[in-house]
Amino acid sequence: KNEVEQSPQNLTAQEGEFITINCSYSVGISALHWLQQHPGGGIVSLFMLSSGKKKHGRLIATINIQEKHSSLHITASHPRDSAVYICAVLPLNYGGSQGNLIFGKGTKLSVKP
Amino acid sequence: EPEVTQTPSHQVTQMGQEVILRCVPISNHLYFYWYRQILGQKVEFLVSFYNNEISEKSEIFDDQFSVERPDGSNFTLKIRSTKLEDSAMYFCASSEPSGRLSEQFFGPGTRLTVL
């Protein structure tokens, strides 16, 4: 059972294109993270959000809590955006003091010049 | 900009050997985590740590695993008797004192290869 589903699994785009990566989840959550994993393996946190929309440079993340869905958008994509983008959710916690992230399988993005 | 660091970047060991993976979290962070990613698979939670004790652990984190904060800066993951299936990338992360809803900052990972 996959609690976090991402689509598409793989995405190839031309430089300059507008990109959308989707994340759906089945559990109640406190927050949702978008992460970027570089080819060497390192993980960078892009956004953490629990409602609405956040923007950082060319990246925009939105979340709809009622529909259990989030999207990551990249405007004016560039080859350096090529990476794996991972959605991870922090489940609602019913008493513990800490929570663990549940990760999606990631979307591999390749932006061609 | 402060960052989480991990050493070594790559560890090769023989099956049955003990390994210690080291992490230096961001200095004012109080919540620490270990995750692993088997090649080609998704990242999985192992354990979270706060106030010198384990807060949560997953089914993966069995008796062969332990974590420790031996001093004010390091956070370690020990695997007592490594198995082939322990080969993976291990990520450490830390977050601020505001806890669960704080953004987690990840280290670059340690690639563990068990032969």
User: Residues A75-105: pLDDT tens digits?
Assistant: 999 999 999 999 999 888 644 445 588 999 9
**Can you give the pLDDT at residue A96?**
47
| Mean pLDDT rounded to a whole number for chain B | 92
**Can you give the pLDDT at residue B80?**
95
Question: pLDDT, tens digit, for every residue of B63-88?
Answer: 999 999 988 789 999 999 999 999 99
Mind giving me the DSSP string for A63-111?
Answer: EETTTTEEEEEESS--GGG-EEEEEEEEE--SS-S----EE---EEEEE
Q: What percent of chain B has pLDDT over 90?
A: 74
**Can you give the pLDDT at residue B4?**
94
Whether A97 sits inside 8 A of B55 (CB atoms) is yes
Element (H, E) at A29: strand A29-37
**Can you give the pLDDT at residue A93?**
67
| Closest chain B residue to A48, measured at CA | B103
**Can you give the pLDDT at residue A97?**
45
Contact B4, B95 (CB under 8 A): no
Would strands B43-50 and B31-37 be described as parallel, antiparallel, or unpaired?
antiparallel
Question: Quick check: B32 pLDDT over 70?
Answer: yes
Residue in the block written with tokens 């979340």: A63
Set of chain A residues whose Cβ sits within 8 Å of the Cβ of B100: 30, 90, 93, 97-99
The answer to whether residue B100 neighbours chain A at the CB level (below 8 Å) is yes
Q: Residue A77's CB: how many other CB atoms inside 10 A?
A: 21
Average pLDDT of the segment spanning B98-113: 85
Residues of chain A with pLDDT under 70: 1, 93-99
